[in-house]
Structure 1
């Protein structure tokens, strides 16, 4: 049976604040565990009024304290923003706090605008170009100490936190295959290359000490409700967000609208609907049909859902309904 997981952005909704967003993320993590989801991931973003997971490892710890068994981790940490030693220490600490439950998903995008990225990285080109070497360095810090190893991460050394490679390009597919890492494709916002990227990853995969065969996560936006109409209503918050990004008018997560007519123009509508074409939105039957098509297309081992829903009550209901849906899907 295909595993289900959640990618949470710790959204700050219109009229709220970061503290309330983090409390909502704790509730989401607990709901995901109760619904039988495999893992709960937080994403690193900076300088965005609507996202409270900039200090990603701290929010992951909050999710860990709210749960007992579900895997927790990053989807992902943008490694070029950080020294590998620092990430090894952070995730070694998380592994010490929540043994056997921590995943470290890595990306190479800045997770923000270029001005903020410069403040984070200082040298943008060096960070992006050294990404493969930084991954290998990070693996060294999280592995067993070697006889001649002088630089160590404490906590971190021997933690062996599983590393995942995240991406939305063919570069990430080639790199994940070459390093023998599990691969998560960001089809929830970058759908165009998913089939080609997954083919490259699977056909080029080299087994590693961490993984003996390819493992794929495919991402989708997800909104489930009792009816198609209710789900479509909640989904307008996501649609507004994507329109706002195209207008360079980012802010907190907006309240849903009865209709997007009058909010977006025709070109924005075409662009956003193209970007979100793999979103699983609807009541139980409609959502199941969409999910089945997505799983059939990707043959993914795992689906990770981003439920960017304004109402916490509706968000928790969506988690519950997706958990029930998973139990009705045919085994693969």
Structure 2
């Protein structure tokens, strides 16, 4: 089977490090992914999260674009209800003008934040209800067929930046199918509805000017190392970080305290998030990714390389690419 591989970079800020070092790490990861033939790197919009540096998604894409040559770059995704469609069309139209033929725009409708952060973003709590209409308005700006009389996105008009609908439920699957857009499922952290959502998307898909056949991207975690023991140690560290980030209430906790959180209930939540994780040596990762691609009925896998160190993520890119070379050939 042929599997296209891409990277989802969460732009993590490790304990004791800074946003500057996290952004430098994102550049290094994109360069390594480009070197090893990955299709694209996507960055997700998150706000008010001390461990993630990708809040200004379009700015990060621009920076990484200046330090890479070929690999596609994009949002996985922009949370469209946080913005006006015109603003996003202008931002991604600018990126397309800077890096022609390399820009993707994945769109989600989740807030990407809590209620206080929604207030700080000046977001209307009901704005998610207009997500389908906002997607169409954005598409109109990018294709040069504005739905708002007398208003064009400059840059952006006629750029035809490809749109992707992101989701983890039936809503996104049905919307992507109705609009004839590619569908990316967030199975790297929200696995529950993967199979029924993909089945619904494929069954209901209607061809569009952008896409003739359904196209599914599925998110999956990878912890790849030279030995299985090393991979398991890296996964344990990742679980501690997730427990601290999700349940540590902003505190600087020790590994022992993180282990207590995991033992007291955080572990069940973290393990559920990491349901779809390929772990181990290159051969083990290859077997897991092939099996996951069949389960997800996916055309492309977008990989979140889970390690608390940049060195671990870079090595995992190399090992995964090498292991999957015979599959993608």
Please give the range of the TM-score, normalised by the shorter of the 2 chains. Answer: over 0.9
Tell me by how many angstroms 1:242 deviates: 3.2
1:111 aligned counterpart, secondary structure: coil
Cα distance change of structure 1 residues 284 and 7 upon mapping to structure 2, 3 Å threshold: same
Match of 1:102 in 2: 103
TM-score by length of 1: 0.93
Give the corresponding residue for 2:92.
Answer: 91
Alpha-carbon separation, structure 1, partners of 2:41 and 2:311: 18
Unaligned runs of 5+ in 2: none
Going from structure 1 to structure 2, the CA distance change for 1:314 and 1:149 (only over 3 Å counts) comes to: same
Confirm or deny: 8 A CA contact 2:43 2:77 kept in the other structure.
yes
Contact 1:48 1:250 in 2 (8 A): no
User: Structure 1 residue 124: deviation in Å?
Assistant: 1.2
Figure out how many residues of one structure are paired with residues of the other and give that number: 328
Asked if the contact 1:224–1:231 (Cα under 8 Å) also holds between the matched residues in 2, the reply is yes
> Which residue of structure 1 aligns with residue 290 of structure 2?
292
Deviations 1:260-297 (A, max 9, x none): 86552164333322321111111112212211210111
Q: Is the contact made by 1:173 and 1:201 (CA closer than 8 Å) also made in structure 2?
A: yes
> For residue 14 of structure 1, what is the aligned residue in structure 2?
15
User: Residue 265 of structure 1 aligns to a residue in which SS?
Assistant: helix
- Is the contact between residue 82 and residue 121 of structure 1 (CA under 8 Å) also seen in structure 2? no
Q: CA deviation at 1:17?
A: 0.5
CA–CA separation in structure 1 for the residues paired with 2:30 and 2:41? 6
Query: Deviation of residue 250 (structure 1)?
Result: 4.9
For residues 84 and 97 of structure 2, the distance between their equivalents in structure 1, rounded to whole angstroms, comes to 20
Q: Which residue of 2 aligns with 1:32?
A: 33
CA-based RMSD of the aligned residues comes to 2.2
Residues 78 and 108, structure 1, Cα contact 8 Å, conserved in 2 = yes
Matches within 5 A, 1:63-78: 63-78=64-79
**Correspondence 1:304-315 to 2 at 5 A:** 304-315=302-313
Please give the alpha-carbon distance, in whole angstroms, between the structure 1 residues aligned to 2:211 and 2:129.
25
Distance 1:77 1:240 in 2: 27
Q: Distance in 1 between matches of 2:112 and 2:80?
A: 10
Q: Verify the 8 A CA contact 1:61 1:94 in the aligned structure 2.
A: yes
- Pair 276,85 (structure 1): closer, same or farther in 2 beyond 3 Å: same
- Contact 1:49 1:251 (8 Å CA) reproduced: no
Alpha-carbon deviation of 1:137?
0.3
Distance 2:251 2:199 in 1: 36
101 and 267 in structure 1: CA distance in 2 versus 1, 3 angstrom threshold: same
- Taking a change above 3 Å as real, the CA distance of residues 196 and 100 of structure 1, as seen in their structure-2 partners, is same
Inter-partner Cα distance in structure 2 for 1:100 and 1:182: 17
8 A Cα contact 1:241 1:250, kept in partner? no
Check 1:262–1:247 CA distance in 2 against 1; reply closer, same or farther (3 A cut): closer
Specify the alignment match of 1:176 in structure 2: 176
Return the alpha-carbon distance in structure 1 between the equivalents of residues 171 and 147 of structure 2.
34
In structure 1, the residue matched to 2:59 is 58
Report the Cα distance in structure 1 between the residues aligned to 2:147 and 2:281, rounded to whole angstroms.
57
Structure 1 CA distance, aligned partners of 2:326 and 2:274?
24
Give structure 1 stretches of 5+ with no counterpart. Answer: none
- CA drift at 1:322: 1.1
CA distance in 2, matches of 1:45, 1:150: 33
Q: Following the alignment from structure 2 to structure 1, what is the Cα–Cα distance between the partners of residues 153 and 246?
A: 41
TM-score by length of 2: 0.94
1:186 aligns with 2:178: no
Q: Which fold has the larger relative contact order, with Cα–Cα distance below 8 Å and residues 6 or more apart in sequence?
A: 1
Alignment correspondent of 1:151: 151
- After TM superposition, the structure 1 = structure 2 runs for residues 1-332 of structure 1, keeping only pairs within 5 Å, are 1-125=2-126, 127-145=127-145, 149-247=149-247, 249-250=249-250, 262=260, 264-265=262-263, 267-329=265-327
Post-superposition offset of 1:329: 2.5
**Is contact 1:48–1:251 with CA below 8 Å preserved after alignment?**
no
- Residues 1:251 and 1:319: Cα distance change in structure 2 (over 3 Å): farther
